[in-house]
């Protein structure tokens, strides 16, 4: 696997600028996103757009979220090197890679087997060894590894997924897009307290739907 060397420092500077303009203030998040070669995670036809603040297709009707959304969702997890994170929806593996640089370990689930294999090759190429991945139904979470201090869902759910909430540690944070409208979802920050949930709406976005079904080999 090789990076695309047409990507230059200006492209990365544009990425940093777009993150700052979107209100991302975490220096660790910005630095991580600047240093991860985003062009590795998109099809050849879209490599020139890899650092633009746009959503890009990755196959199987899935997408790579625009950098501003990745930055916001990552920043709002309040990560550190002690946190164990569950990611639902590996996709291209870009968000997974960002998380892996900011926490102790990432467990990630993807229902499309072929997307997962491509992502795993990228993790190996980038020498990201704190990622554990599997193909499966992300709505079920990963009970054998629970509880998780942080959970990130990268597809839109109709409501906060109850099984994922069960696997979230007390005082843990879940970031999840909510909504069934194809053109309008809202990213929620959910904090699990001993006496209930605290929720905060972060921004409106458009995500592919979270589909509760067995993993496919496609």
Task: Give the β-pairing of 131-135 and 184-193.
Answer: unpaired
Is 9 a member of any domain? no
Q: What is the pLDDT of residues 47-88, one digit of tens each?
A: 999 999 999 999 888 889 999 999 999 999 999 999 999 999
Is 4 a member of any domain? no
Q: What is the pLDDT of residues 127-156, one digit of tens each?
A: 999 999 999 999 999 999 999 999 999 988
Distance of alpha carbon 180 from alpha carbon 63, whole angstroms: 17
Q: What is the pLDDT of residues 155-174, one digit of tens each?
A: 888 899 999 999 999 999 99
Is 46 a member of any domain? no
Give the rounded percent of residues in the chain with a pLDDT score beyond 70.
89
Query: Among all chains, which residue has been given the structure tokens 């979270």?
Result: 210
What is the end-to-end Cα distance of the chain in Å, rounded?
21
Residues annotated catalytic, as ranges: 65
Is 183 a member of any domain? yes
Q: Which of 71, 79, 70 is nearest to 100 (CA)?
A: 79
3-state secondary structure of 22: coil
204 compared with 11, residue with greater pLDDT? 11
Is 212 a member of any domain? no
Q: How high does pLDDT run on average in the chain?
A: 90
Query: So what's the pLDDT on residue 120?
Result: 98
Beta carbons within 8 Å of 27's beta carbon, 6+ residues apart = none
Counting the structural domains of the chain, the total is 1
The pLDDT of 81-101, averaged and rounded, is 97
Is 217 a member of any domain? no
Is 151 a member of any domain? yes
| Residues of the domain holding 78 | 55-205
Q: Which of 211, 172, 204 is nearest to 190 (CA)?
A: 172
Distance of alpha carbon 195 from alpha carbon 118, whole angstroms: 41
Give the CATH number of the domain where residue 128 resides. Answer: 3.40.50.150
2 compared with 127, residue with greater pLDDT? 127
Query: So what's the pLDDT on residue 184?
Result: 77
Cα–Cα distances (Å) from 44 to 48, 113, 126, 178, in that order, read 8, 20, 18, 31
The pLDDT of 21-47, averaged and rounded, is 95
Contact 24, 13 (CB under 8 A): no
Q: Which two tokens stand for residue 177?
A: 């897009």
User: At 218, is the pLDDT very low, low, confident or very high (cuts 50, 70, 90)?
Assistant: very low
Is 12 a member of any domain? no
Contact 67, 98 (CB under 8 A): no
Query: So what's the pLDDT on residue 1?
Result: 57
Query: So what's the pLDDT on residue 3?
Result: 46
Q: Supply the DSSP string of 173-186, one letter for each residue.
A: EEEEEEEEETTEEE
Cβ count near 195 (within 10 Å): 5
Query: So what's the pLDDT on residue 90?
Result: 97
């Amino acid at each position: 696997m090789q990076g695309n060397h047409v990507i230059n420092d200006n492209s990365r500077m544009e990425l940093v600028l777009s993150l700052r303009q979107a209100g991302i203030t975490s220096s660790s998040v910005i630095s991580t996103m600047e240093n991860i070669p985003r062009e590795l995670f998109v099809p050849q036809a879209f490599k020139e757009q890899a650092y633009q603040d746009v959503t890009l297709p990755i196959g199987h009707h899935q997408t790579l979220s625009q950098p501003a959304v990745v930055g916001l969702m990552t920043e709002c997890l309040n990560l550190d090197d002690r946190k164990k994170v569950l990611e639902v929806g590996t996709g291209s593996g870009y968000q997974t890679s960002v998380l892996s640089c900011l926490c102790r370990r990432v467990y990630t689930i993807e229902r499309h087997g072929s997307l997962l294999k491509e992502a795993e090759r990228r993790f190996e190429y980038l020498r990201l060894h704190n990622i554990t991945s599997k193909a499966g139904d992300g709505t079920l979470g990963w009970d054998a590894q629970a509880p998780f201090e942080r959970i990130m869902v990268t597809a839109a759910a109709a409501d906060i997924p109850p099984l994922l909430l069960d696997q979230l540690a007390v005082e843990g944070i879940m970031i999840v897009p909510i909504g069934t409208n194809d053109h309008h979802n809202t990213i929620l920050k959910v904090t699990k307290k001993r006496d209930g949930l605290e929720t905060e709406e972060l921004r409106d976005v458009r995500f592919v739907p979270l589909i509760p079904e067995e993993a496919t080999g496609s």
